[in-house]
A and B are shown apart, each in its own frame.
Chain A
Amino acid sequence: NAGVTQTPKFRILKIGQSMTLQCTQDMNHNYMYWYRQDPGMGLKLIYYSVGAGITDKGEVPNGYNVSRSTTEDFPLRLELAAPSQTSVYFCASTPTSGTSSYEQYFGPGTRLTVT
């Protein structure tokens, strides 16, 4: 298994541009999450999904959108990039309920700079 993969690894955007951060997992996990981590700070939840077709807002959803059309993919969309969105973005997934583990498996992250 590749686990959780994210693309791109790095990206520089100009203010006002749009982009999609890709996240894919091959572990058949129903639950998926997007976090941002600002320099020297903790993880803040942006959006999460408990299954295909279901998404919900986290702590800091403004400026972002998500979709979940398949179990494997959970893309994060930035519509009008702002300098405040400069951060490292982590995608994560968790096994379905009923298992003994709720470990979150993180992807390698996408480092985004908006200038």
Chain B
Amino acid sequence: GENVEQHPSTLSVQEGDSAVIKCTYSDSASNYFPWYKQELGKRPQLIIDIRSNVGEKKDQRIAVTLNKTAKHFSLHITETQPEDTAVYFCAASKESGNTPLVFGKGTRLSVIA
């Protein structure tokens, strides 16, 4: 089955700097890669996702890149702000609801003002 590795487990950045979180996956058939943000005590919420037919997707300060050959994808947050402080999870699956997402273990991002 699918296995998703996520690095780093913790990341501290100064406000205004960029943050990069990386994930690798094992199943070459996976074609859907979402990123979730979980603030302390809250539920995970989708912030961006990418499908295997594109290499990059951007939404304001957040971007995701995908390298299908190497089987890795990354989350890039630019101009970080204190409200970006949270745990971020990557996930992978084949694009159908009956193939559950496999999550990485998460990255705890702290943005220091």
List residues of A whose CB falls within 8 A of some B CB.
30-31, 33, 41-43, 45, 48, 50, 58, 90, 94-97, 102-104, 106-109
Contacts and interface: CB of A to CB of B under 8 A. Distances in A.
Contact of A103 (B34, B100, B104): B34
B95 interface: yes
A103 B97 contact: no
A102 B32 contact: yes
Interface of B: 32, 34, 42-46, 49, 89, 93, 95-98, 100-106
Contacts of A104: 34, 44, 46, 101
Q: Is the interface of B mostly helix, strand, loop or mixed?
A: loop
A33 B43 contact: no
Contacts of A42: 89, 103-106
B96 A97 contact: yes
Q: Is the interface of A mostly helix, strand, loop or mixed?
A: loop
A50 B97 contact: yes
A94 to B, nearest CB: 4
Contacts of A43: 44, 89, 103
Contacts, number: 51
Given A41-B106, A42-B104, A102-B32, A107 B97 contact: no
Contacts of A50: 97-98
A1 to B, nearest CB: 15
Contact of B43 (A30, A31, A109): A109
B98 A31 contact: yes
B106 A90 contact: no
A81 to B, nearest CB: 23
Contacts of A106: 43-45
B65 to A, nearest CB: 20
Contacts of B49: 102-103
A30 B97 contact: yes
